[in-house]
Structure 1
Amino acid sequence: MEAIDERSVDREEGQEELSQKPGRKKPKKKKRAVGCALLSLFIIMLACGALFGLHLLGIVDIRSITYKAGSHLPFLGDRLFPPGEVVITPEERRIQELQEYEKQINSKFLELQRKEEELEKKERELTLMEEELQARARSLAEMTQTPSSLELQVEEELFPKVIAIIQEMSTRRAAEVLNDFTDSLAVEVLKALPPDTAGAILGRMDAAKAARLMEQMATEKGE
């Protein structure tokens, strides 16, 4: 009987030891599970970062990937990613960008062409205006060769118009007009103009006449 009791006691002790062993191993399994979860999370974050970098470089378009994955989310998928919205591939996106760029280039080209046509039109109008002003200035110069009574009238009434016409002309055209003026009238016109404008016109005039006019202007200034 004593032997049987000892065996039963040994069995009970063995069962207690077996029941205690799994309890000791549980913490190790928890640590492994946490480690695997952290490793998986790190790998997922690394993959997301790589995809985002490729998206910035234009190699991969993650919008289509996120749209497809997000549309399957419970409750929020339909709200965040409406089913009717179209997702394009990176190639399609590049084609759209090239088409938009081509449209911008074409619109800018048409705008530049329109401005160029406007400038050409204004240049033609300005050329006609300068020719008309030049003819009017020459006719006024001819009127100054009339008798002295009319010269005074021309100087009083038409001289301001002559100055205004000369100032509206280009330097080259103004020099051509003053070359046809008498020396006395040309001197009066140059004296009425701003010094820088008068100097620029003298530089474009006939050298001999310009020298005479400058000498006459210097003489009158000295007096």
Structure 2
Amino acid sequence: MSENTSTSTTTGTDATAPLRVAVLVGSVREGRHADAVTDWFLGVARRHGGLDLDVIDLAEVDLPLVMPGWGGTPDPRATAALAGVSPRLAAADAFVVVTPEYNHSFPAALKNLLDWHREEWRAKPVGFVSYGGLGGGLRAVEQLRMVFAELHATTVRDSVSLHGPWSGLGPDGAPRDTAVTEGAAKGMLGQLQWWGRALRTARAALPYQG
């Protein structure tokens, strides 16, 4: 479901330029709930305004699980996959991760994407939309916060947590309790925009020394 939903071609680092947000879809399983959850979130994000949204679906990113050692050369499959995804990550001002919770953690495909990149995450904010069971994916988010801290990214405090999406989502894929979930999404996006614009300005003024 990879797509670029940008509605503006504005570039630059001024505070009024739309924030370029890469939305990472973390699940790659067949029959996943990620499609419905992502579509719902994108609808909220478009109404929020001020965002250029680029959806990166990890089910369409064919990265090998084994990375080359220091100085090694990636195989052709990795080179092709990185050529398709790395520039999009580098161009993003901020990220939103849509993730389920698997065994108290997040999907291996998502960790693989994170590990294949370094500078692309640095000094950029990250927000989360999680789902799964009674915990709503919160344990996956807590582990992702530690990983992104190691990658020199900043995670925003508030996140969106969808509890038991198989019963909490309606036929159209939207959460049944739209007042609560949309409020949470708007709160997270507000924080993401503040940090995204502040850090974009800071990176332009002074390169990040990570």
TM-score category, normalised to shorter length: under 0.3
TM-score if structure 1 supplies the norm length?
0.26
Larger Rg over CA atoms: 1
TM-score if structure 2 supplies the norm length?
0.27
Compare the two structures and name the one with the higher strand fraction. Answer: 2
Higher relative contact order (CA closer than 8 Å, sequence separation 6+): 2
Compare the two structures and name the one with the higher helix fraction. Answer: 1
